[in-house]
């Protein structure tokens, strides 16, 4: 056998070795979890985004809420029940793809790093894996999040219903944003979003470490299927930990993505300075309560759905 053929076989072997970590069941299971949680809890997401977007400078009564109850009542009076499902289509696309890609990428990198399935990653390795996965996922899904935000924050007031800023669905929003703002408009909030990658990384790190702790405490394999209640507890604790640590970036990103704030803010740093000046520390935590009401059960639904769908798909592939 020639040296050329030997090298070709080695390259082919390396290629197969690399892609043996590709497991599409993680993508399908993650997508299922994201879609289920979004359908169940989108109304709370609408309230959270509106509370985040409407800052202390804005005096428009249609875009200013004093709290959770006022926001709920105002949205209902203005739009009815359908108002709580504004932006649901891009949210389904965004959440489904984001969770699917995140679970897929995270487990791909985790398996590639550890090699031997009997090994487990350290907390630091889980964190780095989560950061890399989150950055890649955000690069693909940011335009969808811009679309979702703009559909949620718009209203039917005549003051805002201009042709360039009033949207009629996901595709219309993407087209108008591209037409009037270019690629930069579709990637509004991308920089603070990159800082927010730490949220997913911290969440997955905490989730994996809790699974390791459970495995060590009960002397069971780390990849053993657990009960739904175990997954719920682990998912809730990891989400609360990550949310409390990284919430301010979400406020900054939402205000950059809001089409009515385009002329008010000149980048992420300007948002931080003006939010601190006009609203203080509390301004960075606007919408936190409805966010926790939404993300904690949403995370539980997502992870329980993911783990059970994954187990089902893996059992069928055996």
pLDDT on residue 155: 63
Residue-wise burial string across 187-222, b where 16 or more C-beta atoms lie within 10 A, e elsewhere: bbbbbbbbebbbbbbbbbbbbbbbbbebbeeeeeee
pLDDT on residue 75: 84
pLDDT on residue 82: 86
Nearest-angstrom CA–CA distance, 127 and 238: 13
Whose structure tokens read 């350290």? Answer: 122
pTM of the model: 0.74
- 293, 312, 302, 316: which is closest to 102 by C-alpha? 302
Quote the strand ranges of 239-279, DSSP E. Answer: none
Q: How many CB atoms sit inside 10 A of residue 251's CB?
A: 26
pLDDT on residue 12: 46
What are the residue ranges in the chain where pLDDT is below 50?
A: 5, 8, 11-16, 18-19, 59, 157-161
- The superfamily (CATH) of domain 27-317 is Mitochondrial carrier domain (1.50.40.10)
Nearest-angstrom CA–CA distance, 295 and 41: 8
pLDDT on residue 57: 57
pLDDT on residue 21: 54
């Amino acid at each position: 056998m020639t040296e050329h053929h030997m090298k070709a076989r080695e390259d082919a072997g390396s290629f197969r070795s690399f892609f043996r970590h590709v497991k599409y069941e993680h993508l399908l299971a993650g997508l299922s979890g994201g879609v289920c949680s979004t359908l169940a809890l989108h109304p709370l997401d609408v309230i959270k985004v509106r509370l985040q977007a409407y800052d202390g400078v804005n005096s428009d009564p249609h875009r200013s809420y004093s709290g959770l109850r006022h926001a709920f009542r105002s949205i209902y009076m203005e739009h009815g029940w359908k108002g709580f499902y504004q932006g649901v289509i891009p949210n389904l696309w965004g959440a489904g793809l984001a969770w699917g890609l995140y679970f897929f990428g995270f487990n791909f990198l985790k398996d590639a790093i550890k090699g031997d399935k009997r090994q487990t990653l350290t907390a630091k390795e889980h964190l780095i894996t989560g950061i890399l996965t989150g950055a890649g996922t955000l690069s693909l899904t940011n335009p969808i999040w811009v679309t979702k935000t703009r559909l949620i924050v718009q209203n039917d007031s005549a003051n805002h219903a201009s042709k360039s800023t009033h949207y009629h669905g996901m595709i219309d929003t993407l087209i108008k944003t591209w037409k009037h703002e270019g690629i930069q408009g579709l990637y509004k909030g991308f920089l603070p979003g990159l800082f927010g990658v730490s949220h997913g990384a911290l969440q997955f790190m905490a989730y994996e470490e809790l699974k390791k702790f459970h495995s060590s405490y009960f002397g069971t394999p780390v990849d053993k299927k657990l009960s739904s209640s175990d997954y719920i507890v682990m998912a809730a604790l990891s989400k609360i930990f990550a949310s409390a640590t990284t919430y301010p970036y979400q406020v900054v990103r939402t205000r950059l993505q809001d089409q009515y704030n385009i002329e008010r803010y000149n980048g992420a740093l300007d948002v931080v300075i003006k939010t601190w000046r006009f609203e203080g520390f509390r301004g960075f935590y606007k919408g936190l309560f409805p966010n926790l009401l939404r993300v904690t059960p949403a995370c539980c639904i997502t992870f329980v759905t993911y783990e059970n769908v994954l187990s089902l798909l893996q059992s069928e592939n055996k």
